[in-house]
Amino acid sequence: MTQHLAAPSTGTSDDAPGHRTGWWQDAVIYQVYPRSFADGNGDGMGDLAGVTARLPYLRDLGVDAVWLSPFYASPQADAGYDVADYRAIDPMFGTLLDADALIREAHGLGLRIIVDLVPNHSSDQHEWFKRALAEGPGSALRERYHFRPGKGTDGELPPNDWESIFGGPAWTRTVNPDGTPGDWYLHLFAPEQPDFNWEHPAVADEFRSILRFWLDMGVDGFRVDVAHGLVKAEGLPDLGAHDQLKLLGNDVMPFFDQDGVHEIYRSWRTILDEYPGERIAVAEAWTPTVERTANYVRPDEMHQAFNFQYLGTAWDAAELRKVIDISLDAMRPVGAPTTWVLSNHDVTRHATRFANPAGLGTQIRTPGDRELGLRRARAATLLMLALPGSAYVYQGEELGLPDVTDLPDEARQDPSFFRAEGQDGFRDGCRVPIPWNREGTSYGFGAGGSWLPQPAGWGELSVEAQTGVEGSTLELYRAAIAARREHPGLGAGADVEWLDGPEGVLVLGRPGFVCTVNTTGAPVRIAARGRVLLASAPVTVDGAEAVLPADTTVWWTV
């Protein structure tokens, strides 16, 4: 195996035809959630062999790169975002050889591979943490995490008032090896996810080595999980606020978006730059403003950051225009491409968000008006793919999948659902294995079942059911992504030109194109803008005029 891995598949498609510098600037990046994409061995759980077998589908979809959510050795307390060994593959997903095969195969097809890196916390089953607990108070390994004595007369109160993102206190009390109650440790997420202490040089060294391990394996980049969380304010001060979760994303918190994180990313950038082929890092950074998000993508830090402000925007012309402008303006001074995303593994799929009234947030448990949601989702996607910068597509959105809102509680696995006592944490709804075939066991997901139940009728949304069908959501995505490839101007640059349009209609100019978006629930008559290149619903052109159906986007070539 060593020998096999010693000649990594580097350089991806550097020599492939059409390679351009800065491939990531306008890349369409497809998120694979390995548990739910394709099951190669029929055990009901997706795996790396399943992904490899389906890579030709992604090549045909036309995406530039694939980001895989974590597949590392993990007890799966948070679906793999609790990593026990950063250099090993969880047996449920395969082996290092499977990862190697996936990377090589992808590169052979001209696809780049981005892996998830989880540096804010490890699993409580990570060797360091297990030993830190077993060795008891005074263990040097405890300094690599945040262990603190409790408050109160007997240390029975947590060291500060921080709350876990998944609900409940962000601290758990340990039991000493002799059975007495001991110190507490910090976990911003589940108790099985202790936060690393990034002030400790061993932690920084370890992650630099992990980066190199995967770069040597040939990966093209990293999506950095909770990139905003690594550094905590000196002394871990109380927040002094109730309902802390409401503050998330509105304020700099003592545990989020501290300025010290940037030094870490500067050191990572020097490592990425040592490797050929423009290896990249993408920040998952929840910050109060897009301006603060831009700090993560300064020229000597990461390459991209997710634009969650865009993801959270309602289907409303004025709101969309505002967030697009703010996003482009924020990235301009740092020279990084703006990114756009509508769905991922942590939020209700956009076909269901847009099916519900605005203002419900991104964790929704009601199906809403499915037809309306799909119509708006298709229109929203065409708008997203017309914007300058890089766009993220979450597996299954190209099929127009809705969230599965009626999963039985006993099927749910999202730890935040349980920590929030069933009032929040509905992330399983977007994680249901995707349908490949009309019929058959798990609709072609695999030869066995499916780790989350798939709804009846899932097969009608399958790849098989939509392939070659004019007007299907899958063919719309294929056509849109192909058009972006054919007309690089669509994703290029950093500006959009806003043209006049009726109330509720966005008219934006891109080099050689105009994109018109009717966000209203009624047809709108507009001036025809040229030749229709693509439309999210049939558009009628009558001489110099056109009728945009309700909730429809049209791309025009001018």
Identify the sign of the CA torsion 205, 207, 209, 212: negative
What string marks each residue from 328 to 347 as x (binds ligand GLC by CB under 6 A) or -? -----------------xx-
38 or 226: whose CB is closer to ligand GLC?
A: 226
Which residue among 30, 128, 147, 189 contacts ligand GLC (CB under 6 A)? 189
67 or 315: whose CB is closer to ligand GLC?
A: 67
# chain residues binding ligand GLC, by CB under 6 A: 9
Place of tokens 């050929």: 276
Q: Taking the complex as a whole, how short is the minimal distance between the CB of residue 163 and ligand GLC, in angstroms?
A: 15
How far apart (Å, rounded) are the C-alpha atoms in residues 215 and 45?
27
- Catalytic entry in 127, 238, 274, 369: 274
How far apart (Å, rounded) are the C-alpha atoms in residues 158 and 151?
6
Q: Taking the complex as a whole, how short is the minimal distance between the CB of residue 189 and ligand GLC, in angstroms?
A: 4
* SS3 letters across 339-376: EEECCCCCCCCHHHHCCCCCCCCCCCCCCCCHHHHHHH
118 or 294: whose CB is closer to ligand GLC?
A: 118
274 is catalytic: yes
For residue 56, how many other CB atoms are within 10 A of its CB?
12
Q: Are 212 and 160 in contact (CB under 8 A)?
A: no
Q: What are the beta bridge partners of residue 526?
A: 546
Q: Which of residues 114-133 bind ligand GLC (CB under 6 A)?
A: 118
What string marks each residue from 73 to 112 as x (binds ligand GLC by CB under 6 A) or -? -----x--x-------------------------------
Q: 532: buried, middle or exposed (CB in 10 Å: 19+, 13-18, 0-12)?
A: middle
φ, ψ of residue 382 to 5 degrees: the values are -65, -35
231 or 374: whose CB is closer to ligand GLC?
A: 231
460 is catalytic: no
Q: Taking the complex as a whole, how short is the minimal distance between the CB of residue 166 and ligand GLC, in angstroms?
A: 8
Which residue among 163, 225, 301, 551 contacts ligand GLC (CB under 6 A)? 225
Q: Taking the complex as a whole, how short is the minimal distance between the CB of residue 271 and ligand GLC, in angstroms?
A: 22
Q: Taking the complex as a whole, how short is the minimal distance between the CB of residue 66 and ligand GLC, in angstroms?
A: 16
26 or 78: whose CB is closer to ligand GLC?
A: 78
Place of tokens 């990594």: 8
End-to-end CA distance of the chain: 55
67 or 189: whose CB is closer to ligand GLC?
A: 189
53-57 contacts, C-beta under 8 A, 24 or more apart: 54/436, 55/102, 55/105, 55/106, 55/109, 55/111, 56/109, 57/463
Q: Are 544 and 558 in contact (CB under 8 A)?
A: no
- Catalytic entry in 47, 64, 116, 225: 225
* Residues with a known catalytic role: 225, 274
The contact set with ligand GLC (CB under 6 A) reads 78, 81, 118, 189, 225-226, 284, 345-346
